Amino acid sequence: MATKEEQDIDPFTAMETLRAALAGAGIVLPSLAVDAASPALKLVELGRVRADVAVRLAEAIQRGGIQ
């Protein structure tokens, strides 16, 4: 269950924070967006990516985002 602090996070802020972090690692998720169909859930839609982007994303996470 999400904490009160987690529930208070604005999904648009979360999306832009993620977009900036990914850009810093040289990764773009073209479909990254806030899910407008379920505003109460505050979901961020990551979308679909090519396999090479998925591998680069996994590598960035594994190394802690440091290039």
> If the chain, 67 residues long, is cut into consecutive pieces of 10 residues, what is the mean pLDDT of each piece?
76 96 93 94 94 94 73
| pLDDT for the residue numbered 3 | 73
Instruction: Give 49-57's long-range contacts (Cβ < 8 A, gap of 24+).
Output: 53/27, 53/28, 53/29, 56/25, 56/26, 56/27, 57/22, 57/25, 57/27
